[in-house]
Amino acid sequence: MYSEPGVRYVASEIKRVKSITDEKLLSLVEAALFIADKPLTLQSLKQDLLVAYQVSNKRIKQVLEQLTQDYQHRGIALVKVASGYRFQAIAELSEDLSALFKEKSPRYSRALLETLALIAYKQPITRGEIEEIRGVAVSSHIIKTLTERNWIKAVGHKEVPGRPALYATTNAFLDYFSLTSLAQLPELMPISALSLGEHDTMPAQVSEKP
């Protein structure tokens, strides 16, 4: 009996889709999250990792919820950040774990952190508007550092003379601070009250240099 080529192709694709047990699905997702070099979304898990299996979004969500529960009260946790899901060490262990890394954490100046905070809370915002709020000039080095760190990016230009760039934060910024959205940022204190010291919410050391 004659059948259209397209029909035969669809039939062959259906045969290639395999079922997967809950146990293997849990192990496979867990392993993928462990070895991935970036957060994984539900869609990337389904379309890349599980492309050969018949797995619904609901099942993947249930696995992610199960893994979240399984890793409660342990040294690492499954967390959701802006770019997807990832395993990371819990904050309570960060000081002890830092002994494993020979390189020192980057030292960010007060000026850089104030600039980053204003972009995070006031975005999109121009360099001139940041300078107006802070009362001092923002060096090109600060903008360059934040851009190279992939914490900020230009998202457009303000329709005023000179068309200055408008800056906003990126998903990489949210991922670094383990946030899923800007709505999770703490309330912004006045710039004059920023101590950026021991109790600062941003995990960076402060240099006295601008």
- Predicted confidence (pLDDT) per residue in 26-71, tens digit: 999 999 999 999 999 999 999 999 999 999 999 999 999 999 999 9
d(CA 41, CA 84) in angstroms, rounded, equals 4
pTM above 0.95, yes or no: no
- Whether 16 shows a pLDDT value over 70: the answer reads no
Residue type, 85: Y
pLDDT band at 154 (very low <50, low <70, confident <90, very high): very high
d(CA 206, CA 210) in angstroms, rounded, equals 10
d(CA 206, CA 209) in angstroms, rounded, equals 9
Length of the chain equals 210
Question: Which residue is associated with the tokens 């204190």?
Answer: 189
- Tally Cβ neighbours within 10 Å of residue 11: 10
166 contact partners, CB below 8 Å, separation of at least 6: 123, 124, 125, 126, 154, 155, 156, 157, 158
Query: What mean pLDDT is predicted for residues 172-201?
Result: 69
Whether 125 and 145 have beta carbons less than 8 Å apart is answered as: no
- Whether 158 shows a pLDDT value over 50: the answer reads yes
Residue of 17 and 100 predicted with greater confidence:
100
Query: What mean pLDDT is predicted for residues 167-191?
Result: 86
For 114-133, the pLDDT digits (tens) are 999 999 999 999 999 999 99
- Whether 204 shows a pLDDT value over 90: the answer reads no
